[in-house]
A and B are shown apart, each in its own frame.
Chain A
Amino acid sequence: MHIKHWFFILLSFYSVQAFAISPIQHWQTSQGGRVYFVRSAGLPMLDMRLVFAAGSARDGKQEGLAALTARLFATGAGQWGADELARQFDDVGARFSYDLNQDYAWLGLRTLTQAELMPQALAAFQQLVTRPRFAEDEFARIKAQVKIELQQRQEQPGFVAKRAFYRALYGSHPYAHLKEGTPQSIADMTRADVRHFYQKYYVAQNAILVLVGDIPKAQAQQIAEHLFANLKQGHQAQALPKVPALRQGQVQQIDFSSSQTHILAGLPVLSRKDADYFPLYVGNYILGGSGLVSRLFDEIREKRGLAYSAYSYFSPLAEAGPFTIGLQTQNKQRDLAIRVLKQTVREFIEKGPSHLALRAAQKNLTGGFVLRFDNNKKLLNYIAMIAFYQLPLDYLDTFQEQVARVTRAQIQAAFQRRVNLDLLQIISVGGQ
């Protein structure tokens, strides 16, 4: 019942920061590996995630290299080929998973904590992380697979729109391409590229380990020691370049054989440690982040029936991540939908939210606070985010207070300063 207890502490003391007891335990291994641990009792399971600054922004000219590298881990490690490795996990009911974004890639394990089961899962995970094979035949096979998958993604107007959207927002910045890469960039990649990428980025200095589960701290320490001891020291990845400022807005129409036009609009805005984070976050809840009750949803769907989904969100990254507004509508309504979208955003930026709307937003974000990490999986996500971006460990403890402090004037000012509609990039992909 540790988590429950923790909530009690959190809710009672969140405004008295000096006394806020952080439930996140943080330490460094003897090799200097950074570890973050929350003991979550009640279920005999452990979730862990090893996060590396090895996202698609590290691809360089080889678009898709980070994703291809992450994907190849499961194809063999140490003494095991792909089949044997898969069986190592499956035999004990464990699951390996991975994912990446622009900033980071992670390798994850979910396992039962039973003493007779967990060691096999941990050993397999350790091999996979520290002794990946990247075998030639597997490399060729996965490359061919990715090429077909990329072709298939070309069937999707949403994917085509997303690719154009990132190009428009980021130009030559490392955030400008999708993590999937292109058929050509994948075709040009060699196994040596993957090895090199691994050796450079999958190293102890560039990693953090996050564990959430029902194990004692001593055991978490042991697991961490072991994992980091077998990783090369290496270096922390260099900071990414700043995102260059946009010079002008644009509307880009891409023809596509589809019955709907997919519309994406936005610009680069928010980094993880941005001073405007909370005003923009709370403001966006009102504009397009609150699902069935947001302004965009109301104007686009509820009032006009123009689309099934209409939304906006900030994706805060190490450098300015995108502010994205999106919807899909039948082709003939494209211009109308773009007009309503722009009008809704413009009005919000000019007038700011009403007092009532702000109160409703704050009530949702604080009243629903506990839903954000009511299980191990969500908690793991949060801690990985806090750890990777080096946010204060009491980030969760102070979250509600930060939200409650935001004023209408702050939201209006932040949006006016940061969301310049003259620079808006609008991509629409669809038929005439």
Chain B
Amino acid sequence: MLARLFLGLFFACSVQAAEVHESILANGLKVLIKEQHRSPVVVAQIWYKVGSSYEPSGMTGISHMLEHMMFKGTEQYPAGEFSKIIAENGGRENAFTGHDYTAYFQTLEKSRLAISFELEADRMQHLHLLAEELQKERQVVMEERRMRTEDNPRAKLHEYLMAMAYTSSPYKNPVIGWPIDIENYQVADLQQWYQRWYAPNNATLVVVGDVQVAEVMQLVKKYFAPIPRHNIQALKPQIEMPQVGVRRMSVRLPAKVPYLLMGYKVPSLKTAVDEWEAYALDVLAAVLDGSDSARLPARLQRGQQLATSVGAGYDLGARLKTLFLFEATPVKGKTLLDMELALKTEIRILQRELISQSELTRVKAQVLANSVYEQDSLFYQAMKLGMAETVGLGWQKSEQYRNKINQVTAEQVRQVAEKYLMESQLSIAYLEPQTMLANTATGVLHAH
């Protein structure tokens, strides 16, 4: 009851998020602007609807490779100039690629927004793709892959799990790409990929910060309106084949500590037939692992003391059908099988018994509090809008999130647990550590 009282208060107190201003240029560029006047700073992000889930086989990772090449210059601003100009203007910039998007961003003192626009508009149309630059950057990406995946047993387990869990969905491929594909991109491949996807009508520009909508729109028109629209060829449907039984693997790698990953096929908000199911899955993830008082840390780490680490996660915002993931590291003396059984016991309880009202209310309270906290970050606010828009949900969905979560019932949480966390939809991977080389210093040279 106490918790319920709090929830009412949350609604009373939480500040209304600033309004999002949407416009679409004649060339199809969608522009989202949110005024936030707490500090004299602005974030600009440009999101392209392309990512690793758009890639055909043999070309995995090409979206990410192209993201790297986007810093390699145009006729007007040769390699390195883009970053130099942003730096000299006190800006911070970078880019990221995911399964469903490629995005570029700059954070600047507010009066310098035009600089970001000019440079992004330029590289949307005039990228110079040179064989020599590609050769070097390919090595950089290979090093990135070694760092992120090859030398990280847990990341490798995740990669193997995805490859096994999906049959026909492009989510089976890593965002960074398979090594053999990275080694074989040609300039022509990148050129085609660039021409196919980098166009105003395949992009969303998000601006959040201490700006005025009208002024931003003037700048947008100046820099982006002249860019011609392309004919964007629709992506072929990429539907995952139904899974008809559990999939299981054991991965033997040099490592020190065993580790478990389990993933159940579930709909995302975009693919759910009934929207509420996605929100209920999101609440389910929070009941399991949303905070320190959630079930998995309370029961498996503390109560039964089976796990050193344990977690659950669900990506509501995926463009395609996704996985509801569990991970666990056993304590000394426990096995991966113990982890699997303990997690399945928790799942069974969720399928049979309603979560308590206080649990549900606690999850909602945190979602509401987060909706205030996240306004402390311009970058995160822009990111939420850009992502929702780019995966095809529409940015409005990200604004509705809080209210939708608030409508989820305990029975709905039970229903999605029962419907989706089924053995036949499970993929499970064990990391079984193989001996690593001992870490002994083999040589110390004294320099003089």
Contact = CB atoms under 8 A, between A and B. Distances in A.
A145 B378 CA distance: 36
B40 interface: yes
A148 B439 contact: no
A260 B257 CA distance: 20
Contact of A250 (B93, B151, B298, B446): B446
A83 B447 contact: no
Given A145-B331, A248-B448, A370 B88 contact: no
Contacts of B5: 116
B317 to A, nearest CB: 22
B302 to A, nearest CB: 6
B85 to A, nearest CB: 10
Interface string B288-322: 00011100011001100100110000000000000
A292 B70 CA distance: 13
Contacts of A251: 444-445, 447
Nearest to A114: B13
A377 B380 CA distance: 13
B80 to A, nearest CB: 7
Contacts of A260: 143, 146-147, 150-151
Interface in A88-110: 89-96, 110
Interface stretch (B185-193, B344-352, B362-370): B362-370
A91 B294 CA distance: 11
Given A83-B302, A255-B439, A308-B147, A375 B377 contact: yes
B37 A255 contact: no
Contact of B370 (A44, A93, A114): A93
Contact of B151 (A248, A258, A298, A309): A258
B269 to A, nearest CB: 23
Contacts of B180: none
Given A255-B439, A330-B142, A90 B366 contact: yes
B273 interface: no
Given A116-B9, A148-B308, A250 B369 contact: no
Nearest to B41: A374
B212 interface: no
Contacts of A369: 90, 109
Given A144-B308, A305-B139, A367-B88, A253 B443 contact: yes
B439 A254 contact: yes
Interface string A298-310: 1001111111110
A343 interface: no
Contact of A86 (B13, B142, B293): B293
Contacts of B79: 302
Interface string A399-432: 0000000000000000000000010101001010
Nearest to A342: B447
A369 B133 CA distance: 33
A364 interface: yes
Contacts of A376: 376
A31 interface: no
A86 B298 contact: yes
Contact of A253 (B40, B301, B442): B442
B254 interface: yes
B447 A249 contact: yes
Interface in A76-94: 82-83, 86-87, 89-94
B236 interface: no
B38 A43 contact: yes
A365 interface: yes
B107 A371 contact: yes
A185 interface: no
Contacts of A259: 146, 150-151
A112 B109 contact: no
A313 interface: no
17 contacts: A7-B39, A87-B362, A92-B369, A93-B368, A93-B370, A95-B373, A96-B292, A116-B6, A117-B10, A251-B447, A257-B254, A302-B79, A306-B139, A309-B147, A367-B89, A368-B108, A377-B376
Interface of B: 2-3, 5-6, 9-10, 12-15, 37-41, 71, 79-80, 83-84, 87-94, 107-109, 112, 135-144, 146-147, 150-153, 210, 254-257, 291-293, 297-298, 301-302, 305, 308-309, 329, 331-332, 362, 365-366, 368-370, 372-373, 375-378, 436-448
Closest 9 CB pairs between A and B?
A: A93-B369, A367-B90, A368-B90, A305-B139, A86-B293, A305-B136, A86-B292, A308-B144, A249-B447
